[in-house]
Structure 1
Amino acid sequence: MTSRWAVIGLWLLLAAAMLPLQGPLQSRAADESDTFLARGSESAEAKRVIEAHFRAGSESAAVIAYFREGGITSDDRLRIADDMNRICAAGTIPTLKSVGSPYGLACGDDDPLDLSPGGPGLLTSSDASVALASASLTDDSTPVAEAAAATIRSIVPSPDGDKSGLRAWVTGEVGFEADRSEAVKTIDETLLLVTCGVLILLLLAIYRSPLMALVPIFVVGVAYVVAGGSTYLLVRAGVTTVSGQSTAILIVLMFGAGTDYCLLLVARFRDELRRTADVDAAIRRASERTAPAILSAGAIVVAAMLVLVVADYNATREMGPILALGIAVMVVAGLTLLPALLGVLGRRAFWPAVPRVEERPRPVAPLWRRVGQLVQRRPALVAAGVTALLVAGALGNLGGREPLDFSESFRSPPESVGGEQLISERFIPGRAAPVELVMPYGDREAVLGGLTSGARTAVEEAYLFAASVPKREGGESELALAQAYLKLEPFSDAATDAMPELRRVAREAAGGERVLLGGEVPEAYDTREALKRDNRIVVPLGLLLILVILGVLLRAVVMPLYVIATVILSFGFALGVSSLIFTHVMGQPASDQTLEQFAFIFLVALGVDYNVFLLARIREERVRASSTRDAVVTALERTGGVITSAGLVLAATFSVLMALPLESLFQVGFVVALGLLVDTFLVRALLVPSLAVLLGERNWWPGSPVT
């Protein structure tokens, strides 16, 4: 008893030490300025060079789009000029560099763009209904963007308009960053509250005990605090980066998988309490029986997450160590803190449904008896039927889906998206997202001329944004920075597809000298290519590691192979059916570029993870049964309830992501939740047991089922 209290005390002390680090972790996660870049890409290099060599490159800008139907009036011009002066005098934007409009520079240094009415035609629309003002900042961090956007929006008219009907949207890099930060700011709090609420309701339904509904949540909560604090220490040490997306997935993964690990031990503990009056013996036997399965399941998820560190895409790569650490901490807590709590609480943990010692084992639930009989009598028919259904659903992937652009990345488009759409409609299409070019200073005219001289390129015009003469690192070359505006809608597939041609033309015009293209459109292209490369590495490497772990766990080759195959089938079904639902039911034909990769990693790792519980029980029962067929049926009947409960808990946890404002997280939550439900009710309950019955003793090749 003393040792149990010591374990509980140590975990509480560790959690108390890590709790103050949760705030700093969220502050780090809020800055996502480099999260969605591809490592080693040209666009990432362009951003680095611009920030290192150009004063303007380390800045960010808020673009204010003023709009009046019928045209900007003289009174509107006075209002705009007054707004610019108020922004200059606000004093709440310490990093403010300059503020200007088409009607003059309000404050700050000379702007590199010509701000006069007769300038390059980039600040007033052709129908005179839109005027673009800007506020440049010397800092492009997320907190600065949030503060600047809040100040500017408090001064200028709202998108709904002022009393005179003049309307304004704050957009540009500052507006985008502020709106995205606002969308993810409350994600962790929302996820924690909703996830805990959903899990408590499910656990109450499963155990009909208020205390047992809270114990797993307490264990996972303590583990999450420790994992979060440890993550911050890794980030501070420079081992990894962190974003709001990563912390959101960490919450879902830890609470979903962690609760399931707890369920496995709790269910076995309750069974043992029905066999013996000795609580110590019950918790000891329950731990001994479930620890190998929990360790193996956790190892599979940790291995799958660590594979992500080889990815080139920053948002994917940073998740690897963070999620692996979270699951590792959760496994340790599940094998130490949970048994200690259960040992202290004893039978009281299940009040009012307290388990009593029973002379005979409880009969199998009627549902799982019927499922076991179906699998035993018609294994080939069941396997063929489920496989056909999964293959049919996977055919939904044949249609293909275009990638989400920025305007589609929010469930409810914020102000910055409305401003971007207004600019795209009234100006050069590429004005909303210019391409940035870094080139040798002496080649600037040739490059800009080459990009705008022929219809073969997608560039409408190239405008010299800034010229500077700093030394390139390690060389003597002088550099120039320019902006190019595309003829194409910058967030379209056509614009993304045009990037290789633009880069080729720019290099040829520079005589083979290095020209870097950066900005949102080149970043979208580089992200797409990086994800393709990542999938060619992450997917096979992840499958190989999981296969090895399964082989070691089961001491067999055949069973791991078909388990992996069935989980891949359920992934294909979930992605295909989700694609059809997104496109034809929800009216969203685009998907986040990371959806396939994240869905694959989570569904394969977690799908195999929970198949481990069934397979471990099959091996355990095989020692006592006369044949593998009998062992499969017995294991299915005995574990069907708890494993299905675990699958429901995990699916419900991932479905919480659907309540968040970001489309990417909504889609991940939908696909993974659907895949887990399919895996729970079709793959794990029917397909895997049917295949195991069909193969019989061959499941264990080349080993022996009883060794």
Structure 2
Amino acid sequence: MFEYSFRKIAEFSSRNSGKVIIAWIVIFLLMAPAATLLFKETSYNIGSSIVPSTSMAQEASNYLSSEFGSSGTGSSGGNNSSFVLVTNNTNINSQPVTSSLISMISAENSYLKNATGSSNITSVFSIEKSTLLSVSSGMKKELNSTYALIGSINHQATQLNSSLNGTAFLEYGIPDYYRSELAKTPNKSDAYNYTISFIKNESLPPFELNYFNNVTHFFNKTKLSRENMSKSINETLSNNSFQEFMFNAKNSEILGLMESINGNLTLTNFNNPASYDPYAYRFVTSSLITALSGNTSLQNFVTSDLNISMAELVGDSFNLSQPAVSEQILPLSVSFVYNGFQKTLYMNPEIQLNPSKSIVTGYLTMLNGSSSINKTVDSEMTGNGFKDYPVIPTSYVYHQFVGYNNATLVILISTGQNLTTSQVNQIYTIAGNYTSQVPQANFYVAGTSAVDNQLATESLDGMIKALVIGIILSVVIVGIFFRSIYAAFLPLAMFGISAVVAMGINGLLYKYLIHGTVSFITPTLLLILLLGLVSDYVVYIMSRFRRELRRGNPKAVEDSGQWAGNAVFTSGLTVALSYVVLYISHVPIFSDSGITNAIGVVVAILAANTFLIAILKRAGPKAFYPSKIHSNAKIPLEHTMENVADFVIKNKGKLVVVFVIAALFGSYVYFITPTNMDVFNLVPSSSGIQAIEVVNDSFHGDFFDRGYVVMKFQSPLLSSTGNNSTEMERVTSVENQIMNTSGISEVFGPTMPYGYYVPFNLTGIPDSQKSTYSSQINSFIGKNSSFAVIDFQLSNLAWVSTSSHTVKTMAASLSSGDSSVYSVYVGGETEGLNNAYSFTASAFTKMVPILIIAIFVVLLIQLSSALTPLRLIFMVIASVVIALSISYGLIYYMEKLPLLIFLPMFVFITLLAVGLDYDIFMVSRVREDVLKGISDQEAIKTSIIENGGVIITLGTILFATFGSLYFSGIGIIQEIGIGLAFGVLVDTFISWPFFVPSVMLILKRFNWWPSRIRERKN
């Protein structure tokens, strides 16, 4: 329909060839700086780019961000860090391993501070060091206080016991000495003088003489016996004159002491340890307890900090030697402090004392003699394995950083900026330097920053490999077809122009208008598609140009532009429309390639119909140098294609039957083969992916990609009076529901803040720990307390089919809850993948009809026929289904690889348009001859003979180009490449030469219905 319009375009480009060439060169130079923008606007974060904006996962993500902050919740551990270093086969209970890892982390930290200006590395060692420094400071302080207190009490006990012992000697010893002297001599005066002399020699206190005189006064009136001496002592103590004397002499305390001794000891046992020691213990300790209990702060320190009674403190201090030495005081101090910290850390959800008492008390002993806590902590950490540290994290904290095998570590690195590839590599190199110290160790870099850098590098490398291979194959195939060096490189030159201009336009579009990013596969798909299509368009137009030159046509350029240029426009327009439909569908990962590819195709059409025409006008037959143009020379593969045409004419019915059978079998394979969204199994097994797999194996599940459930209640969970018990019980019910779902290993939420149930009213939690529990509980409750979040960890990797099934089952179960009370939103990587799959499948079923209608309208206008467009579309779809069934057999059934739903979607959309190219080229050629009055059969035969060689060449180029995607090394792109390559192969070598002409031969004049094309002979 637009043949004459394209003739005018060809005539304009031919007439102004120099200007057209210069214009394209100027456009090329203007777009060149912007061509790199698309790479800068490329996202390599698969997880963030795959979730549909209207999905539940995205809605959950929005709530998580607005209500709980970008850092996530209390259970997130290392999930949100932009850079992660993972170590494996590094058992931290081994002292050499621990020492090496601490040195490695220090080296990494030093490097990052120098390279980026700041560095914050969080690991189980940094947590341990911070904890041990804090606890050691408290231990040291408590140890010093306890040591001083025990020493003071022991000193007082020593003094009091000495006084008690001396008083007992005065009270019983002196009188008994007198009695024994009387037993030796009957002269009382001599006995008295001997005793007085003894008193003076012993330097006894002055009141002793008065006491002795009173005792002898009473005793001398009786018979010589101990019993009478005891009575005399009692009479003395109760004598008013003696008591008055003691009060006047300010010895009332001693009098009380003497009365106590008199009430508990006797003259016969006062110097017997078996009798004296128990009494002395009772008297001294009770006296000191009474004295010390009046000190409130001391009482609190003993009972609260040391978790002992005052009686235990005083009694144990008394039982030391009197006076006690440091070697005795220190162990008792250590024991008391250990006991105190057992209480202090009781039910602490984050830190605990080592279960081995000897390890803790040994550390306390060392701490006592330390002048620097920092040095002591450093020495303790490097000199022992983790299990021998005195204070250790609880299981909850420990397993945020260390796997259950104690040998896999997650080290979080934050620098405040994205790390470059060279910096990431240097971090990896520093870690690798320590493999000599830990021979079995493996190190992996992971996290957003690392994975993005790795995927960027691998994508770029893969794109370059695919392009290089595609370009080489294209040049070789075109060179062989035209037997020309010049012609071989002309498609490459056209590709260079089209690629730079298309990349520049797309880069500017995304940077300044769309303000978004494209997925990592978009540049590769754009460039490979352009390489294939541009090569096809150029070869098709040049082939027509060569044919016209051989015919001696003076208007060879103009006729080529009129007929071949129009065919290129028609096929290119269908391709562009296909990708526009893909773009507006908003399919994850691939939709942005829709607009970029559409722009690229439009640029290729414009370049082919203007720039190429201008070059051909200027070059003329020299475009095929060194080949020469001979009049009426044979077209490549003409004889072969003539045989094919005759075979098709003779066996058209059989071929249609074969086509139908192949289409039906292909449909069967297509519909029974499952597809999925297992994206991560089809990206290169980089260090980042390996890290995730290693962590999954040792952390009881996918630690990095924990899922979550956001609950939105009609009423708040918190109020000024406390927790809303009704709503909190509903939260507990949902937590249990999630925990009981097969395939889920851990759950964290408002009533499972540390992975185990904690009463929301904190019943049974010590007062000293309630603030810690409360803070953790509140981290799972939103800024608006009507929101709560529950985190869950899957037993398997988030992207595998088992996890997908687990989350589907859980989501379905949760959705059955009372929606009038609360709403549930499931989020996380797995739910995002599930949503992406459902969205893509739904979009796919909507896109195909839209695309069919759009292509039908274009072909209806171009071909002035209603039946032929329908036939073309149906046959291309059948070819695509056959090609996909072959791809499925290779990828899924033979290689046992997952089939992404993107494969059939992208292949359908691309080949529904690209696959029509060759059919359009054929139909356009047939229509051209029919318009000139040739019969349908002759026109079809001529089209096969004349177009066969060029279309097989075009198909081979496109097959080689799309097939080169296999060498990208990226599974997603490889699958797409395989599907596209087989699609082109089926269309080029089976459908186009055999099935399409067979159907056209059967339809005959109905090919052009309802148009009466023979009445419009030109």
- Shared fold per TM-score greater than 0.5: yes
Q: Deviations over 1:413-467 (max 9, x none)?
A: 2222222222222221232421134456836885466233552464332235875
> In the TM superposition, what is the alpha-carbon distance from 1:201 to its structure 2 partner?
0.7
Aligned to 1:556, which of 859, 865, 873?
Answer: 865
Preserved CA contact (<8 Å) 2:696 2:796? no
Per mean C-alpha deviation after superposition, the further-off stretch among 380-389 and 448-457 is 448-457
Alpha-carbon shift at residue 289 of structure 1 (Å): 1.9
Could you tell which deviates more after superposition, 510-519 or 590-599?
Answer: 510-519
Question: Which residue of 2 is the match for residue 56 of structure 1?
Answer: 71
Structure 1 CA distance, aligned partners of 2:464 and 2:408? 39
Please state whether the residue corresponding to 2:404 is helix, strand or coil: coil
Sort the Cα spacing of 1:504 and 1:255 in 2 relative to 1 into closer, same or farther, 3 A: same
- CA deviation map 1:168-206 (0-9, x unaligned): 222344443333222213344333322221211111111
Letter in 2 for 1:424: N
Question: Residue type matched to 1:339 in 2?
Answer: I
Aligned to 1:578: 887
1:78 aligns with one of 99, 124, 127: 99
Query: Residue 517 of structure 1: CA displacement?
Result: 3.1
Question: 1:242 pairs with 493, 513, 518, which one?
Answer: 518
- What is the correspondence of 1:298-337 to structure 2 with a 5 Å cutoff? 298-337=572-611
Structure 2 equivalent of residue 156 of structure 1? 431
Would you say the 8 A contact 1:452–1:461 is kept in 2?
Answer: no
Q: 1:283 to 1:83 in 2, by over 3 A?
A: same
Q: 2:705 matched to 1:433? A: yes
Q: Of residues 998, 1003, 1017 in structure 2, which corresponds to 1:690?
A: 998
Q: Compared with structure 1, are the counterparts of its residues 656 and 72 closer, same or farther at alpha carbon in structure 2 (3 Å cutoff)?
A: farther
Is residue 834 of structure 2 the alignment partner of residue 525 of structure 1? yes
C-alpha separation in 2, matches of 1:602 and 1:382: 26
Q: Counterparts of 1:327 and 1:363 in 2: how far apart (Å)?
A: 28
- Cα separation, 2, equivalents of 1:83 and 1:623: 80
Which TM-score applies when normalising by structure 1?
A: 0.90
> How far apart in 2 are the matches of 1:470 and 1:498?
25
Aligned-partner SS, 2:526? helix
1:391 equivalent in structure 2: 664
Which among 439, 461, 466 is matched to residue 746 of structure 2?
Answer: 461
2:623 maps to 1:349 = yes
Task: Determine whether 1:125 maps to 2:403.
Answer: yes
Q: Quote how far apart the aligned CAs of 1:233 are.
A: 1.0
Map of 1:286 onto structure 2: 560
Q: Give the CA deviation at 1:400.
A: 1.8
Aligned 8 A contact 1:446 1:510 in 2: no
- CA contact 2:81–2:448 (8 Å) conserved in 1: yes
Question: Per the alignment, in what secondary structure is the counterpart of residue 461 of structure 1?
Answer: strand
Which deviates more, 485-494 or 633-642?
A: 485-494
- Secondary structure of the equivalent of 1:431? coil
Aligned to 1:66: 87
Of the three residues 540, 548, 569, the one matched with 1:272 is 548
Q: Which protein has the larger Cα radius of gyration, Structure 1 or Structure 2?
A: 2
Q: State the distance in 2 between where 1:643 and 1:108 align.
A: 72
Bigger shift: residues 477-486 or 124-133? 477-486
Instruction: Verify the 8 A CA contact 2:746 2:793 in the aligned structure 1.
Output: yes
Q: Select between 3-12 and 558-567 the one with higher mean Cα deviation.
A: 558-567
Q: Tell me the residue number matched to 2:654.
A: 381
In structure 1, the partner of 2:736 is 452
Evaluate the alpha carbon distance shift between residue 597 and residue 651 of structure 1 in structure 2; reply closer, same or farther with a 3 A threshold.
Answer: same
1:630-655 CA-to-partner distances (Å, cap 9, x unmatched) read 22112211211111211111111101
Q: Are 1:608 and 2:916 counterparts?
A: yes
Equivalents in 1 of 2:950, 2:885: separation in Å? 28
| Matched residue type, 2:461 | T
Cα offset for 1:510?
A: 9.1
Determine helix, strand or coil for the equivalent of 1:314. coil
Partner SS state of residue 977, structure 2:
helix
Shift of the 48–12 alpha-carbon distance from structure 1 to 2, 3 Å rule, reads farther
Partner AA of 2:71 in structure 1? A
Look up the match of 1:186.
461
Residues in 2 aligned to 1:571 and 1:157: alpha-carbon distance in whole angstroms: 48
Q: Counterpart amino acid of 2:496?
A: G
- Give runs of aligned pairs for residues 68-217 of structure 1, distance below 5 A: 68=89, 72-89=93-110, 90-91=112-113, 94=116, 98-105=120-127, 117-120=393-396, 121-136=399-414, 144=419, 146=421, 149-157=424-432, 164-217=439-492
Q: What residue ranges of structure 1 are gaps of 5+ in the alignment?
A: none
Q: Which residue number corresponds to residue 49 of structure 2?
A: 35
Judged with a 3 Å threshold, the aligned counterparts in structure 2 of structure 1 residues 335 and 92 are, in CA distance, closer, same or farther, namely: farther
How far the C-alpha of 1:321 sits from its partner, in A, is 1.3
Retained in 1: the 8 A contact 2:43–2:517?
no
Measured at CA, do residues 298 and 506 of structure 1 come closer, stay the same or move farther in structure 2, by a change above 3 Å?
same
After TM superposition, the structure 1 = structure 2 runs for residues 3-14 of structure 1, keeping only pairs within 5 Å, are 3-14=16-27
- Of stretches 119-128 and 335-344 in structure 1, the one that deviates more from structure 2 is 119-128
What are the Cα deviations for residues 582-619 of structure 1, in whole angstroms up to 9, with x where unaligned?
2343x233122311101111111111122110000111
Deviation at 1:339, TM superposition (A): 0.6
Corresponding residue for residue 367 of structure 1: 640
Query: When the two structures are superposed, what TM-score results if normalisation uses the length of structure 2?
Result: 0.64
CA RMSD, 1 decimal: 3.2
Q: Distance in 2 between matches of 1:289 and 1:568?
A: 26
Alpha-carbon spacing, 1:477–1:232, altered in 2? closer, same or farther (3 Å): farther
Q: Tell me the CA shift for residue 561 of structure 1.
A: 1.6
Write the distance in 2 (CA, Å) between the matches of 1:486 and 1:624. Answer: 69
SS at match of 2:87: strand
- Structure 2: runs of 5 or more not aligned: 1-13, 73-78, 134-348, 352-391, 718-726, 754-775
2:816 counterpart of 1:544: no
In structure 2, the residue matched to 1:491 is 799
Q: What do the CA deviations read for 1:293-347 (whole angstroms, capped 9, x no partner)?
A: 1111111111111101232323222122111110001000000000101111111
Q: Bigger shift: 170-179 or 55-64? A: 55-64
Using the TM superposition, give the Cα deviation of residue 356 of structure 1 relative to its aligned residue in structure 2, in angstroms: 3.4
**Greater shift in the superposed pair: 537-546 or 324-333:** 537-546
Residues 558-596 of structure 1: per-residue CA shift (max 9 Å, x gap): 2222211111111111111111112343x2331223111
| Structure 1 stretch displaced more, 123-132 or 333-342 | 123-132
For residue 49 of structure 2, what is the amino acid of its counterpart? T
CA positional deviation for 1:31: 4.2
Of all paired residues, the percent bearing the same amino acid is 20
- Is the 1:60–1:138 Cα contact (8 Å) retained in structure 2? no
Is residue 85–residue 107 contact of structure 1 (8 Å, CA) maintained in 2? Answer: no
Q: Rate the CA distance shift 1:39–1:286 in 2: closer, same or farther, 3 A.
A: same
Q: Determine which of 535, 538, 552 is the counterpart of 1:259.
A: 535
CA–CA separation in structure 1 for the residues paired with 2:454 and 2:821: 40
Q: Which residue of 2 aligns with 1:672?
A: 980
Deviation, 1:84, is 2.7
Contact 1:88 1:107 in 2 (8 A): no
Q: Which moved more, 1:528-537 or 1:181-190?
A: 181-190
Would the aligned equivalents of 1:62 and 1:175 in 2 still touch at CA under 8 Å? yes
1:145–1:494 Cα change, 3 Å:
farther
Count of aligned positions: 694
* Change beyond 3 A, Cα 1:545–1:277: closer
TM superposition shift of 1:213 = 0.8
Deviation at 1:515, TM superposition (A): 4.4
Asked whether the 8 Å contact 2:473–2:961 carries over to 1, the reply is yes
Other structure's SS at 1:222 match: helix
